[in-house]
Amino acid sequence: MKRFMMLVLLFSLPTSALAATIPPHFVLTGSGFGHGVGMSQIGAQGQAMEGQSAQYILNYWFPGTQVQSVPDTQLVRVNIAHRATFATIALAPGFSRSNIDLSSNSDGSLNNGGLGDSSSIYKFSLLGKQIGAQMTQMTLMNGKGLVPQAFAPQPLWSIYWTGTAAFPNPSGGLTGPKPQPFTAIKVTTSSGSIQLRYGQLQLKVVAGKIEITATMTLEQYLLGVGEISSSWLPAALQAQAIASRTYALAHSAFRPSCDCNLYSTTTDQAYIGYAKESEVGVGQNWIAAVTATEIDATDAQVIYYLGAPISVFFFSSDGGQTQRSADVWGTALPYLTNVPDPWSLDIFLNPQYAHWQRVLIQKDVAKAFNLPDVMSLAITVRTVTNSATLITATSSTGGSAQLSVGDFKTKMRLPSSWFEIAPTVF
């Protein structure tokens, strides 16, 4: 009789009582931000605070490599807007008595499309396999205000502006009665805006969209790389400048898909243009760091291994030790190995990521693993640094699924692979 009553009570329990055994969330605690391969940027700053030089810092994070002088006069093409459908180009705020020249050389010749002064705004839009262009000037005519000027659509447009050195203005050089030493332009698309000081801008139709690129010298490119704070110590800034130059040289192959050598995003390294060197109070620090790593007008410092630029990687911080490239990407390189990084765990050096916590909601975790629910979550494979490489989820149905830590981090938006999963509490 008692057994019968227990069965009745069990089957009469509401569904919510059974569902309560499924954890509503999972708590993760961890350290670090980034993939953990190569140079720890927090670590580099910590070493600079201890009085180490840029060369010492680089030799520490990339064992067995050498910093040496190599030619650096190459031009690089940087993609600043990928697969755009429109763009607006105008003089950056704060500049005057400057000119922007629009040209089309898609047919092999160079034809002036028009010359705009500091009040000009160019607007470009995708028109099938070509790009439409229109210039508006803040000129009053008959009291009607803005006067637009349209140009015949082209598959490629080039933009030049006052003061650029790598590509002189095709209309004859600096224009205006008192030209400034340089001008910066502002490029705006649906993905945001960027200010550029150097080079030549190009808009080109590639695979049905507009690719916008800026071509400049390697050193001009470095002045706009925004990977670390310009307020950091000189040795850390110089180490980053050498590492970023090395990255650019090692990734100099042309990519038809973006009409570029390098993306301006973290697909390669963050390029923020004129905003880097013009940052109030500290912009000059980054300029000085880039300049300090130049040997002369044609040579600069680069990290080499066995006669070639290394495959350089850098990241913000880790869980106390860097990763081997083989553990993260499956390719072993002798200079991308495990080295201690106590600086990343220093709460004063790394206040945001020395220790972090994330709460993962049940429905998000279940969706990530493509399971009806997740009863338990576990790290089933780790590296020698104790970082996770494989995550296993088990459902209340008895089914299970696995994700690589890379996929898990992306789906759950986690800072790093150094984490622990707290025991589930019901």
Same domain, 130 and 217: yes
**Is the pLDDT at 2 greater than 90, yes or no?**
no
Instruction: Report how far residue 37's alpha carbon sits from residue 247's, in angstroms, rounded to the nearest whole number.
Output: 14
Q: What percent of the chain has pLDDT over 70?
A: 84
61 belongs to a structural domain:
no
Most confident of 55-69, 93-107, 128-142: 55-69
Q: Number of structural domains, the chain?
A: 2
Instruction: Report how far residue 315's alpha carbon sits from residue 319's, in angstroms, rounded to the nearest whole number.
Output: 12
**Is the pLDDT at 113 greater than 80, yes or no?**
no
Q: What is residue 5's predicted lDDT score, i.e. its pLDDT?
A: 42
Residue that the structure tokens 């000189």 belong to? 234
**Is the pLDDT at 287 greater than 90, yes or no?**
yes
Average pLDDT of the chain? 87
Same domain, 249 and 359: no
**Is the pLDDT at 16 greater than 70, yes or no?**
no
Q: What is residue 187's predicted lDDT score, i.e. its pLDDT?
A: 96
Q: Which domain holds residue 389?
A: 13-32+354-421
309 belongs to a structural domain:
no
Query: Which residue in 286, 170, 144, 308 sits closest to 228, CA to CA?
Result: 286
286 belongs to a structural domain:
no
216-227 mean pLDDT: 95
49-55 mean pLDDT: 98
Q: Between 348 and 7, where is the model more confident?
A: 348
Torsion angle in degrees (nearest 10) through CA of 306, 309, 310, 312 = 170
* 3-state SS, residue 45: helix
Q: Would you place residue 117 in the very low, low, confident or very high pLDDT band (cuts 50, 70, 90)?
A: low
Same domain, 122 and 201: yes
**pTM metric for this prediction:** 0.88
Q: What is residue 199's predicted lDDT score, i.e. its pLDDT?
A: 86
Instruction: Report how far residue 29's alpha carbon sits from residue 51's, in angstroms, rounded to the nearest whole number.
Output: 32
Secondary structure in 3-state letters for 318-363: CCCECECHHHHHCCCCCCCCCCECHHHHCCCCCCCCCCEEEEEEHH
Same domain, 251 and 383: no
Same domain, 23 and 96: no
